[in-house]
């Protein structure tokens, strides 16, 4: 039997609610011994209703064809203006067209709260979402409005120029009028934006938000400009789920802010205006393998910690791009033959004033730590064998 559920109840106070709910008897002149049953049914109806609006419904179906089973067990008559349900999403939507089928009834389209089309990623797995039915949606055919879409509302301009079903999939040239706006890229794959001439928007900023979970957004200068800061010249990539601010100098070109520096930027001390994430710092600390040669090249813009396996008598070459204050370790590994010696170029200064001799047994790991005092003076300390 359907009910009990507030969906059956009337807002009128008269006799309409006497038998409006098939599971609750509040008929006029009902027998006294039925009041307890009616009251308990009323409690059950309220409990079901609260669960249905409180996010207890767990979505089934697929990412773009959602199936919801309510506690109230709704009928077609209940799919009307004001119906509200909250559900926990099982998957993230991958299409702008998403439907919800309630209690085995016909599927209805889901729209944003402003009745615009959904964006890819508006519904995210694990999130709890509010749906309200509107008979005016879908051109008057009715549909559900998603009140708390996960993505920000995209701009009508300039996105209307490239939106197809809410998925931005073509390159786009920004215009001067876009300056100062938060511009969202939700392309599912790689995408490209081109900046206007900085002279046309001098003194203004663009804010670009790559909300795509998978697509890298490349931002290009137009043919006459360059970026005069950071580790890039005429273009740079915004990784998924990252943001940047770009300032138009007007004469010198563009300056990027808030971009995320990479591990390579950190090692090379490039991209000084970038934001450094914990992930980039730890990536930068990973050991880098140096190339074995008679004189081992040590470009300190490419590593903090380094390893090299030597296959002959070697010299550790003077470092290039040594940055004062840099410190780290260098591991020198004897090959399977062993007996390999290691000499040191002139810029290395040894702790204790004595040039160390490494252990040459095959497979031995000899470990040094270093600290850069100046670009031409590197303090080197032989720590010994790692065993």
The strand pair at 342-344 and 327-334 is best described as: unpaired
How many residues are present in the chain? 387
Query: Residue 159: its pLDDT value, please?
Result: 36
Are both 117 and 182 inside the same structural domain?
A: no
Are both 305 and 362 inside the same structural domain?
A: yes
Of residues 275 and 338, more confidence is placed in 338
Structure tokens at 249: 């100098």
Domain boundary among 234, 254, 274: 254
Q: Is 62 contained in some domain?
A: yes
Are both 61 and 89 inside the same structural domain?
A: yes
Q: Is 267 contained in some domain?
A: no
Domain boundary among 211, 229, 254: 254
Are both 47 and 67 inside the same structural domain?
A: no
Are both 137 and 183 inside the same structural domain?
A: no
How many Å apart are CA 224 and CA 215, to the nearest integer? 27
Please provide residue 67's backbone torsions phi and psi, each rounded to the nearest 5 degrees.
-115, 125
Q: Is 263 contained in some domain?
A: no
Q: Is 277 contained in some domain?
A: no
Over residues 187-214, the mean pLDDT reads: 81
The boundaries of the domain holding residue 301 are: 287-386
pLDDT class of 91 with cuts at 50, 70, 90? very high
CATH code, domain with 189: 2.60.120
Peptide bond into 4 cis (omega under 30): yes
∠ Cα 58 168 273 (to 5°): 100
Q: Is 262 contained in some domain?
A: no
Average pLDDT, the chain: 85
Most confidently predicted of 38-52, 61-75, 176-190, 261-275: 61-75
Are both 173 and 209 inside the same structural domain?
A: yes
When mean pLDDT is compared across 167-176, 293-302, 330-339, 370-379, the lowest value belongs to 167-176
Structure tokens at 83: 């119906």
Query: Residue 354: its pLDDT value, please?
Result: 95
Q: Which residues pair with 236 in a beta bridge?
A: 219
Domain boundary among 84, 115, 146: 146
pLDDT class of 155 with cuts at 50, 70, 90? very low
Question: To 10 degrees, the CA torsion angle through 244, 247, 248, 251?
Answer: -120
163 pLDDT more than 50: no
Q: Is 222 contained in some domain?
A: yes
Over residues 56-84, the mean pLDDT reads: 93
∠ Cα 214 220 225 (to 5°): 160
Q: What pLDDT, in 10s, does the model give residues 15-31?
A: 667 667 777 777 777 77
Total domains in the fold of the chain: 4
Q: Note the helical H segments in 245-372.
A: 263-268, 278-285
Q: Is 179 contained in some domain?
A: yes
At residue 125, the 3 state secondary structure works out as coil
């Amino acid at each position: 039997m359907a009910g009990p559920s507030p969906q059956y109840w009337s807002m009128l106070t008269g006799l309409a609610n006497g038998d409006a709910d098939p599971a609750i008897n509040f008929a006029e002149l009902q027998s006294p011994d039925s009041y307890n049953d009616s009251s308990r049914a009323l409690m059950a109806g309220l409990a079901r209703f609260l669960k249905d609006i409180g996010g207890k419904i767990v979505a089934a179906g697929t990412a773009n064809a959602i199936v919801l089973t309510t506690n109230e067990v709704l009928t077609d008559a209940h799919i009307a203006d004001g119906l509200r349900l909250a559900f926990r999403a099982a998957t993230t939507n991958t299409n702008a067209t998403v439907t919800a089928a309630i209690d085995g009834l016909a599927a209805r389209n889901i729209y944003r709260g402003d009745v615009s089309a959904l964006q890819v990623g508006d519904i995210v797995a694990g999130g709890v979402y509010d749906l309200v039915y509107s008979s005016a949606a879908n051109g008057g055919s009715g549909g559900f409005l998603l009140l708390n879409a996960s993505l920000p509302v995209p701009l009508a301009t300039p996105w209307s120029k490239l939106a197809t079903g809410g998925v931005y999939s073509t390159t786009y040239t920004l215009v001067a009028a876009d300056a100062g706006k938060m511009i969202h890229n939700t392309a599912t794959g790689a995408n490209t934006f081109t900046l206007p001439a900085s002279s046309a928007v001098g003194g203004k900023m663009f804010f670009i938000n790559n909300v795509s979970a998978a697509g890298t957004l490349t931002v290009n200068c137009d043919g006459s400009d360059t970026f005069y800061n950071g580790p890039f010249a005429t273009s740079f990539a915004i990784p998924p789920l990252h943001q940047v601010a770009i300032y138009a100098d007007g004469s010198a070109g563009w300056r990027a802010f808030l971009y995320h520096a990479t591990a390579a930027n950190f090692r090379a001390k490039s991209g000084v205006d970038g934001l450094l994430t914990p992930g980039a710092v730890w990536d930068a600390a990973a050991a880098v393998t140096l190339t074995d040669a008679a004189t081992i090249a040590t470009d300190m813009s490419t590593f903090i910690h380094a390893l090299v396996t030597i296959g002959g008598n070697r010299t550790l070459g003077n470092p290039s791009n040594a940055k004062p204050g840099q410190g780290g370790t260098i591991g020198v590994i004897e090959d399977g033959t062993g007996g390999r010696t290691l000499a040191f170029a002139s810029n290395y200064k040894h702790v204790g004033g004595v040039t160390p001799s490494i252990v040459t047994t095959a497979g031995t790991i000899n470990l040094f730590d270093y600290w850069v005092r100046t670009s031409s003076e590197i303090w080197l300390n032989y720590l010994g064998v790692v065993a």
